[in-house]
Amino acid sequence: MASFPSFASTGTLKLEPDSTKHSTVSLLTRKSPSISYPKSQTSTPSESLNFQESLSVITDGSKIETSCYVPLLQECIERTSFSGAQNFHSHIIKTGTHRDVFVMTFLVNVYAKCGSMENAQKVFNKLPRRNVVAWTTLMTGYVHNDQSDVAISVFQEMLEFGSFPTNYTLGIALNACSAINSVELGEQIHGYSIKYHIDHDTSVGNSLCSLYSKCANLDSAIKAFLKIGEKNVVSWTAVICACGDNSKALKGLRFFTEMLADNVEPNEFTLTSVLSMCCTMLSLSFGVQVHCLSIKLGYEPNLRIRNSIMYLYLRCGRFGEALRLFNGMEDMSLVTMNSIIAGYGEMMELAKDDISAYCNGTEALNIFSKLNNSGFKPDIYSFSSILTVCSRMFALEQGEQVHAQTLKTGHLSDMIVGTALVNMYNKCGSIERASKAFREMSARTLISWTSMIAAFAQNGQTQQALQLFEDMRLMGVRPNQVTFVGVLSACAHAGMVNEALGYFETMQKDFKIKPVMDHYSCLIDMFVRLGLLNEAFVVIKKMDFPPNEYIWSLLLAGCKRDGNTELGFYVAEKLLELKPKNTETCLLLLNMYKSADRWEDVSKVQELMKAKRLKKLMDWSWISIHDKVYSFKPDERQAYGAEMYDYLDQLLDKAKSLVGYQSLESFELLEVEEEEGKTLPSNVQHSEKLAVAFGLLNMPNAAPIRIIKNISMCRGCHNFMKAISSLNAREIIIRDSKRLHKFVNGQCSCGDYGGLL
C-alpha cells in the first residue's frame, strides 16, 4: 500500500474545533440537546421506541429541530436497526434536514454501527461539508467492520482534502494499521504525533502500544505506554496484553501490580489477560489472588472471567476447583465447554491409573454430547479436543462418530481437525483409516505430514513412511527434528542401517538440524534390534551428551536378550548411576542381578526403589465392550467365572501346539504386587491373556479386540497373542506402557521388539 502524503505538507495540526458548524469533539462523547416527548411516546429501557409514532411526534409542528433526530438515531444504534435508520434517513431528506452536517454525520455513524458501510459511504459522499468528525466517523466505521485497509484509504483522502486529524483520528488510524499489520504506516503516524507533541495523548499512546504489540515489537510498545501522560485502564490493559502476546508473561504481571499500586481499577479485559498469563506461567498462587480480586470487584458472574479462572485451575491441575466452577455456571459459552473437555483430557494424562483415565474420558464425551444438545455448534477446538480424548481412551467407535460429525459440519477440511483425526485413528490401531484421513485433508501442515510419517513408523510400515517423507520434501515442506525422529524410527523398525545413517547425515548437512536424544535413541534401538551391541556403543560415544535412562534401558534389554552378561552388568552400573525412576527398569536390573546371584547388587536396587518410593508393578489390563469397561488382574480368578478360564486354557493348549510358539513368561520380572502378605501362585496368567479370552467370548467374530495394559508386555504374552491372532484369524490390538502392538495373522507391528520385558 502506498504511503499517505507527508504530514509536514499539511501544516500545523489543529487540536481546536475547525471552522465548520459543529465541534470536532468525537461523536461518541458529544451529548445531544435535550428533547421532550409526550410521556406515552418516550422510549425506556423496557419499552422499544415505535419508529412511526416517533416520526409523527417530531413532525407535529411547523418547525423541526434537527436535534430531535439524535435520540431516535441513537435508538437505531442500540437496536442495530438498519431498517429504522433507512426510515429516519428518508424522513430527514423529506424535511430538508439532510443539509445539517451534524445530523448527517450522525447518520454515517448509525449506518456503520448497523454494518452497512455502503450506505455510510453514500451519506458521507453527499455531505455538504466534511469536517474532521465526519472523516473520523467514516474511518471508525470501516475499522469496526473489518475493512481497515479502506479506513487507511479514507485517512489518506482526508489528508489530501486538507482536513487536519485530531488525536482521536490518529488513534483510529493507528488501530487500522494494527489490524492490517502495517507497521510502516503506523511509524509515520507515530512520527507525526511526536513532531506535534501529542504522543503523550492517551488515545494515541494506547493505539501505538497495541500496534507495536501486534507487530511483535514489545520494546516500542512499552515505550509508547510509558510516554502516555494520563494512563487509564485501557492504557494499562494494552501494555499488559502486549506482554502476554509477546511471551513476556512475567513482565505483564509486574505491570499489573504497578497498575493496582497506581489505584487504577482493572476491567474484565485486564483480568482475563492477567489470568491468561497466569495459565502460561502456571502461576496458581497469583491466579488465586486475581480470582479473589475479581470477586471483590463484582466480576465473578462475568462469563469471560469465569472461563479464564476455570481454565487456570485446569492447567494447574486443580480439577476439583475447576469442576465446581463449571457445575456452578448458569450460563455457559462454547469456550466454557471446550475448556472443560480439554481439562478432562489433561486429567486423563495425570490419572493414577487407566480406569480413572477412562472415567475422565467418559466425562469429556458426556460434556461433548451436552454441547451438541445445548444449541452450541462445535468448532475446531471442540473437535480436536474430543478426538484427542478418544485417542487416549482407545475409543475408536466414538472417534468414528466424531469423524462423521466433522464431515457433516464441514470442519474436516480444517488442518487442526484433520491432524487430530489422523492421530486418533493411529492411536486406536487403525493405520488404514489414519492414512485415508490424511489423504482426504485439503491442506496439510508440517505437523500433519510428521504425524502420518510417525504413524506409519509405529505400525511397522517403513516403506510408506519413507515414501511419504520424500513426498513431503517434493511438496516443499521443510522437515523438523520431530519429522526425522519418525523417519529414523521407521528405518530402525526395518533394520535399514544404511538408510538410517544416510537420513541422519542428511538431517545435519542439508537441514542443519542438530541431533537430539530422540534421534540417537532411534539409531541405538536399531542396532540393539539387530543384535549389534558394539555398534550401539559406538553411537553412544559420538553423542554430545550423556545417555539417558531410556537409552541404557534399551541396551540392557538387548544384553539380556542376547545373553551378553558382561556387557549387561556394565550397562546396569551406568543405569544405577542415573538412579532410574522407572519401575520396569529397576525390575529389569533386579532380575538380572538375581539370575547371577549378585545379592549385594540386588539390595542396592531394592534400596533405590525404596528411596524413590517405586512400587512393585501391578499387572492389569482392561477392555471396553459396548461402552462398558472390564478390567483384569492376575489375582482375580473368580471375577469372571470358570468359563473364561476354561476357554483360556484351551487357547493356551492350541498355542502350544503351534509350530514356533514359545512360552517365555517371566513372572519373576513382573513381580505382581503382593497383597496382605500373600504371594500369588506361579501359574497365574498375565492380565492381557485374561482380557483377550474375555474379548473372544463376548465380542462379534469379525470385531478387532482392543486392550490397554498398564505395563509392558512380556515375551511370553507377546508370543501368545501372535499365535491367537493366527489361530482365530482375529486382529488383536494391545497398547502397553511402551507402544502399540497390532497382531495380525501371527505377526506384530512392533517387529517382535517393542520394549518387551
| Count of CB atoms situated within 10 Å of the CB of 535 | 15
- With beta carbons less than 8 A apart as the criterion, state whether 634 and 672 touch: yes
Judged by DSSP in three states, 163 sits in coil
- With beta carbons less than 8 A apart as the criterion, state whether 227 and 220 touch: no
Cell numbers given for 553: 534401558
| Nearest by Cα to 471 from 459, 458, 487 | 487
Question: Would residue 511 be called left, alpha or beta, if left means φ above 0 and alpha means ψ between -120 and 50 degrees?
Answer: alpha
Which residues, listed in sequence order, are joined to residue 629 by a DSSP beta bridge? 624
Cell numbers given for 2: 502506498
| Nearest by Cα to 22 from 163, 110, 136, 132 | 132
- Convert the pLDDT of each residue in 698-717 to its tens digit: 998 888 999 988 888 888 88
Provide φ and ψ at 617, rounded to 5°.
-70, 130
- With beta carbons less than 8 A apart as the criterion, state whether 314 and 342 touch: yes
Provide φ and ψ at 71, rounded to 5°.
-65, -30
Which residues, listed in sequence order, are joined to residue 631 by a DSSP beta bridge? 622
Distances, alpha carbon 451 to alpha carbons 363, 385, 754, in Å: 27, 16, 20
Cell numbers given for 521: 535413541
- Convert the pLDDT of each residue in 251-300 to its tens digit: 999 999 999 999 999 999 999 999 999 999 999 999 999 999 999 999 98
Which residues, listed in sequence order, are joined to residue 740 by a DSSP beta bridge? 735
* DSSP secondary structure string for all residues of 269-313: HHHHHHHHHHHHHT-HHHHHHHHHHHHHTT-TT-HHHHHHHHHHH
Q: Residue 704 carries which side chain, given as an amino acid letter?
A: P
The pLDDT value given to residue 13:
32
Top pLDDT among 183 and 520 is at 520
- With beta carbons less than 8 A apart as the criterion, state whether 545 and 517 touch: yes
Judged by DSSP in three states, 341 sits in helix
Distance, in Å, from the CA atom of 119 to the CA atom of 112, rounded to the nearest integer, reads: 8
The pLDDT value given to residue 51:
54
- With beta carbons less than 8 A apart as the criterion, state whether 738 and 746 touch: no
| Nearest by Cα to 446 from 419, 488, 418, 479 | 479
Spell out the alpha helix ranges (H) of 410-516: 415-427, 431-439, 446-458, 462-474, 481-494, 497-509
| Count of CB atoms situated within 10 Å of the CB of 356 | 13
Distances, alpha carbon 251 to alpha carbons 92, 235, 290, in Å: 53, 15, 16
For residues 652-670, give the mean pLDDT. Answer: 62
Cα 697 to the center of its chain, rounded Å: 40
Residue 216 pLDDT > 90: no
Distance, in Å, from the CA atom of 477 to the CA atom of 481, rounded to the nearest integer, reads: 13
- With beta carbons less than 8 A apart as the criterion, state whether 137 and 108 touch: yes
- With beta carbons less than 8 A apart as the criterion, state whether 647 and 715 touch: no
Distances, alpha carbon 689 to alpha carbons 332, 360, 475, 708, 755, in Å: 45, 26, 46, 12, 18
The pLDDT value given to residue 46:
33
- Convert the pLDDT of each residue in 464-486 to its tens digit: 999 999 999 999 999 999 999 99
Distance, in Å, from the CA atom of 108 to the CA atom of 116, rounded to the nearest integer, reads: 9
| Burial (Cβ within 10 Å: 0-12, 13-18, ≥19) of residue 32 | middle
- Convert the pLDDT of each residue in 2-28 to its tens digit: 343 433 333 333 333 333 333 333 333
Residue 29 pLDDT > 60: no
Distance, in Å, from the CA atom of 484 to the CA atom of 511, rounded to the nearest integer, reads: 10
Provide φ and ψ at 714, rounded to 5°.
-90, 165
Q: Specify the residue for cell string 490493559.
A: 237
For 535, the enclosing helix (H) or strand (E) is helix 533-542
| Confidence tier at 660 by pLDDT (50, 70, 90) | low
| Count of CB atoms situated within 10 Å of the CB of 264 | 16
Question: Would residue 662 be called left, alpha or beta, if left means φ above 0 and alpha means ψ between -120 and 50 degrees?
Answer: beta
pTM above 0.75, yes or no: no
Question: CA angle, corner 723, sides to 722 and 727, nearest 5?
Answer: 125
Cell numbers given for 751: 517387529
Top pLDDT among 681 and 44 is at 681
Residue/partner pairs of 45-49 with CB below 8 Å, 24 or more apart = 48/75, 48/79, 49/75
Distance, in Å, from the CA atom of 232 to the CA atom of 239, rounded to the nearest integer, reads: 11
For residues 307-335, give the mean pLDDT. Answer: 87
| Count of CB atoms situated within 10 Å of the CB of 328 | 8
> No. of H helices and E strands in the chain?
37, 6
The pLDDT value given to residue 66:
67
Say which range, 173-187, 231-245, 627-641, has the weakest mean pLDDT: 627-641
- With beta carbons less than 8 A apart as the criterion, state whether 174 and 151 touch: no
Provide φ and ψ at 629, rounded to 5°.
-100, 130
- With beta carbons less than 8 A apart as the criterion, state whether 127 and 105 touch: yes
* DSSP secondary structure string for all residues of 4-25: PPPGGGG-SPP-S--SSSS--S
Top pLDDT among 48 and 259 is at 259
* DSSP secondary structure string for all residues of 203-241: HHHHHHHHHHHHTT-HHHHHHHHHT-SS--HHHHHHHHH
| Count of CB atoms situated within 10 Å of the CB of 221 | 25
Residue 70 pLDDT > 70: yes
Q: Residue 311 carries which side chain, given as an amino acid letter?
A: Y
For residues 542-557, give the mean pLDDT. Answer: 88
- Convert the pLDDT of each residue in 716-747 to its tens digit: 888 899 999 988 889 999 988 788 899 998 88
For residues 196-206, give the mean pLDDT. Answer: 87
Distance, in Å, from the CA atom of 65 to the CA atom of 80, rounded to the nearest integer, reads: 24
Judged by DSSP in three states, 605 sits in helix
For residues 487-502, give the mean pLDDT. Answer: 94
Say which range, 56-60, 383-387, 595-599, has the weakest mean pLDDT: 56-60
- Convert the pLDDT of each residue in 593-625 to its tens digit: 887 788 888 888 788 777 777 666 678 888 888
For residues 681-697, give the mean pLDDT. Answer: 81
Cα 338 to the center of its chain, rounded Å: 10
Residue 103 pLDDT > 80: yes
Say which range, 33-47, 492-506, 513-527, has the weakest mean pLDDT: 33-47
Distance, in Å, from the CA atom of 670 to the CA atom of 152, rounded to the nearest integer, reads: 71
For residues 524-552, give the mean pLDDT. Answer: 91
Residue 431 pLDDT > 80: yes
Q: How much of the chain exceeds pLDDT 90, in percent? A: 33
| Confidence tier at 572 by pLDDT (50, 70, 90) | confident
